[in-house]
Each structure stands twice: as C-alpha cells, then as structure tokens.
Amino acid sequence: MFSRLVTGAAFTSLIVLAGIAIFLGVQAVSAFQTQGLDFIFSTGWDINTDPPTAGIWGMLYGSVLLAVIGLVIAVPVALMLSIFMVFIAPRKLSSVLTNLIDLLAAIPSVIIGLWAFYILNPPAEQWQQLLNQYLGWIPIFQNTSQNFSGTPFIAGLVLAIMMIPIITSISREVLSRTPPDLVNAAEALGCSLWTMLRYVALPYGRGGIVGGVMLGLGRALGETIAVFFVLKLTFETNWYHIIESGGGSIATLIVSRFGEVSGPEELNLLLAAGFFLFLGTIGVNIVANLIVNRTGRLQK
C-alpha cells in the first residue's frame, strides 16, 4: 500500500508538470502565430502598436547573465564554507553554522528582496564605484553613466545570497560522507589539508557538489521578487556591463507586466515567456541529473 501511494504521488507530480507544460506551450504557439521568431530573437515590449511588438531576447540573456553572476559569487563561498564546516570547524561551531545555513535557506525571497533594497543597495553601489574606479579598464566593470543603482551586479549578488545556503547544505552533506579511512590514510601519508581535499574529498563528492550547484542555478533562473526589488528593468540587451544600471530577466518581466496587462494578447505573450523560462529550468535540471549520473559511474 505504501509503495502504491508513493508511486501515485510521483505520477501525480509528473501529471501536474505535464499539464503546466501543455498549458504554457499552447500560449507559446499563440505568441508565435502573432510575433513569429522575433518573439525570441528581438527586444522591446510595446503592446500599444499595431501590430503589437514583443521580444524576450534581452530578458532571456539577462536571466542567464544574472545566474552566471550569482554562480561566480556563490560557488566559491559555498564550497569554502562547507569545507570549513566539515573538516576545520569544531563540532559545536559546525552544528551552529549548519542550523544558521538551514535557517537562511528558509527565508522567503520577498524578505531578502526588501532587505537588499533597503540595506544592501547603498554599500553595493559603493563597491561598484570602487570596481569602476580601479578595474574600469576591464569591459565588464565599465560604467559610462555613473549610475550604479539597479544593476545586474546587485541582482546577481542577491541571487548569490539565496544560492549559497542551497549549495552549502548539499556540499556539506556530500563532503561529510567522505569515507574516514580515505581521509585518515591521506593524513597518515603526510598530506596537507589542501592535498587531501584535492585528491580525496572533492573528487569523492564531485557529483553531489555539481548537483547542488545546478540546483542553485535552477533557483537563480526562476527567482522573481528579490530580483524585481533591486534591478531596473530595461528591454535592451545588457551584454556584459554588469555595473551599468538596467537589465532584466524573464521572471521580472512577468511580475512587472502581469499586474497591468492590457488585454488577452499581452497575457498570452507573458505566458509564452513563462514557457521558455519553464523550459530553461527543466533543461538545467536534466543537465544536472546527467552530470551527477555520469560522475557517479566514473567514481564506480
């Protein structure tokens, strides 16, 4: 009976997932009929023209850009924190940090967004000014307008704060399961902590760590409210100027336009945009499963 209940629950999840995909897919077909491929490969959003013009290329690229910024910040911090908790910190301190990380993961995104808007924004703007002052010769740190509010950097930083608990929790759990015999053998051979991590712990937990990173990436791609509070939405594609004001993502586009949708046609376009976000999130999870499975086979 228990097996049948669990199987039924699993298939119910698949049915709901398929229903969401079909519903959004139908709306995407309607958007393609009116906009064509320009819906994907163009920028701009003006429903009042005849015919209406809508393009999500800037939002698609912005979603990826914000996720990459978040990963670049979150992955090193999460890995170092998990290594410290497992191999360096005393047991009591490690237990306290574990509880704090789990508590941080449970904070709603709207709370993090409000905190970022009122508390994080001022120092983050100063950090960007320093980056522009000393590293402005690097294209990604150039800012010609000297407006440092509502930038992809701040949005990526907020995403990193939300991703760190997820990646840290999974990495800590994986690293804590490293066989003690392997760790003791490495220490008996005179290996330093870094050598033991490089040749024993990290290779052993590589699959789980990659899975945690991809799970954090999925969270970053679909995050809405926290990014909406700190990013100035623009439809032009911000290719690489991460400290220049303006940017966007599919999720922020939907949340910014949904409350003032002008009619059924714009509603269909927003649902079509959600379909591509849905496909991207599913794709990230599929790639994560493939990587984890392949890493597990190589370890065996």
Give pLDDT tens digits for 245-262: 888 888 888 888 887 887
Confidence class for position 82, pLDDT limits 50, 70, 90: very high
pTM: 0.89
CA distance 108 to 224: 11
Confidence class for position 119, pLDDT limits 50, 70, 90: very high
Give pLDDT tens digits for 174-204: 898 888 888 888 888 888 888 888 888 888 8
The pLDDT of residue 296 is 59
The pLDDT of residue 72 is 93
What does residue 46 show for φ and ψ, rounded to 5 degrees? -135, 100
The CATH class of the 59-299 domain is mainly alpha
Give ∠ CA 235-239-240 in degrees, rounded to 5.
Answer: 130
The pLDDT of residue 255 is 87
- Say whether pLDDT at 171 is over 70: yes
Domain residue ranges of the chain, discontinuous segments joined by +:
59-299
CA distance 224 to 212: 20
- The average pLDDT across 118-130 equals 93
Confidence class for position 43, pLDDT limits 50, 70, 90: confident
Give pLDDT tens digits for 91-109: 899 899 989 998 888 888 8
What does residue 53 show for φ and ψ, rounded to 5 degrees? -115, 135
Name the percent of the chain in helix, strand, coil, to the closest 5.
75, 5, 20
- Say whether pLDDT at 295 is over 70: no
Residues in contact with 245: Cβ distance below 8 Å, sequence separation at least 6, in sequence order: 145, 147, 148, 149, 150, 151, 232
- Say whether pLDDT at 300 is over 60: no
